[in-house]
Amino acid sequence: MVDSGGHSEREEFRGARIQVVGTNQDVPEEGRIFVWTKMGWFERLEGESGNVAFTPVADSEEDLRELILRDNAQAQLYEIGGNEGKEFSKEFLQQSRSYADSPEDSNEDSSVEDNQEYHQHGL
């Protein structure tokens, strides 16, 4: 789905390139936005005051597709690239830093996580 060239190290999360997809190809902010890392799929949620959070929603592309189709049988996923994709990736990275600092994350076995292989999804 995503060309592996042209990504900066900032767009990597624990060794995996971040992929950003959404349900609205023309105006991504008006649809649902999802971020893929080797830890799974996260949905970007924007609060009423403009604050942004990412919540885990699926472990696989198949699970993600089932999730969005439950809400809208016509929904499709589109790659979000360019400046918009970079901004969503940047937001996710900012949030992930706070996840990494959280107490429950500090007990995880990082060697298991480091051995997981990353693969691209064919959306």
pLDDT tens track for 11-60: 444 455 789 999 999 999 999 999 998 889 999 999 888 889 999 999 99
The predicted structure's pLDDT at residue 18: 87
Mean pLDDT score, 85-105: 73
Q: Kindly tell me if the per-residue pLDDT of 100 is higher than 80.
A: no
- Residue ranges of domains in the chain: 10-103
What is the gyration radius of the CA atoms in the chain, in angstroms?
14
Contacts of 48 (CB under 8 A, 6+ apart): none
Q: What percent of the chain has pLDDT over 90?
A: 52
Residue 33 to residue 39: CA distance in whole angstroms: 16
pTM check: above 0.85: no
In the numeric block, the tokens 């005051």 are attached to 49
Contacts of 40 (CB under 8 A, 6+ apart): 56, 57, 58, 59, 60
> How many CB atoms are located within 10 Å of the residue 3 CB?
10
